[in-house]
Chains A and B, each alone.
Chain A
Amino acid sequence: EIVLTQSPGTLSLSPGERATLSCRASQSVSSNYLAWYQQKPGQAPRLLIYGASTRATGIPDRFSGSGSGTDFTLTISRLEPEDFAVYYCQQYGSSPWTFGQGTKVEIK
Chain B
Amino acid sequence: EVQLVESGGGLVQPGRSLRLSCTASGFTFGDYTMSWFRQAPGKGLEWVSFIRSKAYGGTTEYAASVKGRFIISRDDSKTIAYLQMNSLKTEDTAVYYCTRAYSGSDYWGQGTLVTVSS
How far does the alpha carbon of A69 sit from the alpha carbon of B61 in the complex, in Å? 24
B45 touches A45 (CB 8 A): yes
B61 touches A50 (CB 8 A): no
- Name which of B47, B50, B107, B109 has the most chain A CB atoms within 10 A of its CB: B47
Q: Classify the interface of chain A: helix, strand, loop or mixed.
A: loop
Is A35's CB within 8 Å of the partner chain B? Answer: yes
Give the chain A neighbours of B105 by CB distance below 8 A: 35, 37, 45, 47, 90, 92
By beta carbon, the residue of chain B nearest A6 is B44
* Total contacting residues, chain B, CB less than 8 A: 20
How far does the alpha carbon of A39 sit from the alpha carbon of B110 in the complex, in Å? 12
A44 touches B104 (CB 8 A): no
Name B's A-contacting residues (CB within 8 A).
35, 44-47, 50, 61, 63-64, 97, 101, 103-111
Name A's B-contacting residues (CB within 8 A).
33, 35, 37, 39, 44-47, 50-51, 54, 56-57, 88, 90, 92, 95-102
**8 other contacts beyond A37-B104, A45-B45, A92-B101, with CB at 8 A cut-off?**
A44-B111, A46-B108, A56-B106, A57-B106, A90-B105, A98-B47, A99-B46, A101-B44
